[in-house]
Amino acid sequence: MEDIGLPELTSEQIEELCSVAEEAARKHVLSKVSPKRIETLNISVETEGTKPVTITVDVEVSLSPLMKNFNVEKLADEAVKEAFSSAEKYLRELKCQSEK
């Protein structure tokens, strides 16, 4: 993610950032696959530093054997992209608020 000129983040903002990213990834997976067909869904979002902040998103998905033709790797990659997109949006909103 590029540097968007953020102030140093507080621990509350970092916590919120992780929640926003995790929720976006979870929503993406659940929008593509019924919860009944998901055997495992683990999403972890970690941050390092406060300025700059480095975000790591990991999505692990395993589906029911009934979903054998579903591209799980693509689903996980898309969920990671959604998480980063939401995290970037959240950070841009913080930047706007800090400039006021």
Q: Give the domain CATH number at 34.
A: 3.30.300.100
Q: Report if residue 79 sits inside a domain.
A: yes
Q: Say yes or no to pLDDT of 1 above 60.
A: no
Q: Say yes or no to pLDDT of 6 above 90.
A: no
Q: Report if residue 4 sits inside a domain.
A: no
Give pLDDT, residue 7.
Answer: 65
Q: What backbone phi and psi angles, to 5 degrees, belong to 33?
A: -135, 135
Q: Report if residue 2 sits inside a domain.
A: no
Give pLDDT, residue 3.
Answer: 45
Q: Which residue, chain included where needed, has tokens 């913080």?
A: 94
User: pLDDT of 68-92, one tens digit each?
Assistant: 889 999 999 999 999 999 999 998 8
Give pLDDT, residue 11.
Answer: 84
What is the rounded distance in angstroms from the CA atom of residue 57 to the CA atom of residue 47?
A: 9
The count of domains in the chain is: 1
Question: What pTM value is reported for the model?
Answer: 0.86
Nearest 5°: the CA angle 36, 44, 30 is 25
Three-state SS for 84? helix
Tokens of 17: 């950032």
Tell me if 81 sits within 8 A of 29, measured CB to CB. no
Q: Report if residue 40 sits inside a domain.
A: yes
Q: Which residue, chain included where needed, has tokens 């055997």?
A: 39
Residue numbers of the domain that contains 24: 11-98
User: pLDDT of 7-33, one tens digit each?
Assistant: 678 888 889 999 999 999 999 999 999
User: pLDDT of 29-71, one tens digit each?
Assistant: 999 999 999 999 999 999 887 677 889 999 999 999 988 889 9
Three-state SS for 94? helix
- Max intra-chain CA distance, the chain: 52
